[in-house]
Amino acid sequence: MLTLYSYPPLFGVADNNGYGLKVFAFLKLAGVPFHHEHIFDASKAPRAQLPYIVGGADTIGDSETILAWLTKKYQLTIDAALTAQQRTQNLLITRMLDDLYWVMSYSRWQDERYWHFFRDALKREHPAVTDEILVKAKEFNAQRYYYQGIGRFDPDAAMARGLADLAAIAALIPQQGYVHGATPTAIDAGIYGFIANIYFYDIETPLKQFVVAHDNIVRHCRAIHAAVSAAQGGG
């Protein structure tokens, strides 16, 4: 059976990383059977990054590459009805979510206003995670943020960047249905991966305050959450 390797759950969300949760949601929505392995150590993953999947002799990393491989391998039709314009829009949304990822991650590991909430939640839900591991991870992430660029922002400026991303998402999600109509597609799984990692977290960042204040984002997130929680075919 296909196996998804991704980070462990947190606050009732199946993966505490937006990219892993995106792949998880896509698999569920597309009805692909899979086994879910939660890991912290990404050293054996392609490019040392989670998530990745293993299907027979194939090992695939990078969430977008994974979705493309799955679609071809299993002849999935989840995006079959999309127009060329909608596919272009999806690419733009996906790249924007890449930007939001850095702000979300920064808010957990570097912003001292919220770091201790995230740290304590990890320790509470995953007792094997020690203070030593967390300190090393915090230092490693600080380096990543600096070289990526978000680590050179002060906390409020970093949050402002993420809030701009969320404002774009709020403008894209309809009051009813999904981004491209009455049925969810892959981009809905992608948006859910990141929004769920804000909305369901008991950490009151400005990002969460923005999400909670927008009924259309909350409705979309909860609808996908219910769909992937109820779907058969993996876990």
**What is d(CA 98, CA 165) in angstroms, rounded to the nearest whole number?**
10
- Four-way CATH pick for 3-230: 3.20.20.80, 3.20.20.70, 3.40.640.10, 1.20.1050.130: 1.20.1050.130
Percent of the chain's residues with pLDDT above 70: 98
CB-based burial label for 10 (10 Å; 0-12, 13-18, 19+): buried
pLDDT one-digit tens code per residue, 23-47: 999 999 999 999 999 999 999 899 9
With cut-offs at 50, 70 and 90, classify the pLDDT of residue 234: low
Q: In which band, very low, low, confident or very high, does the pLDDT at 230 lie, cut at 50, 70 and 90?
A: confident
Q: At residue 202, does pLDDT exceed 70?
A: yes
pLDDT of residue 117: 97
Binned at pLDDT 50, 70 and 90, residue 12 comes out as very high
Mean of pLDDT values over 172-201: 98
What is the torsional sign of CA 58, 229, 182, 201?
negative
What pLDDT digit, counting tens, does each position of 114-160 carry?
999 999 999 999 999 999 999 999 999 999 999 999 999 999 999 99
pLDDT > 60? residue 111: yes
pLDDT at 86 > cutoff 80: yes
From residue 73, give the alpha-carbon distance in Å to each of 11, 68, 77, 79: 32, 9, 11, 14
Place of tokens 């204040």: 213
Cα dihedral: 175, 70, 12, 128 (round 10): -150
The enclosing H or E element of 77 equals none
Q: Looking at residues 71-93, what average pLDDT do you find?
A: 98
pLDDT of residue 233: 56
Mean pLDDT of 197-225: 98
Has residue 20 got a pLDDT over 90? yes
Q: What secondary structure letter does DSSP report for 37? A: E
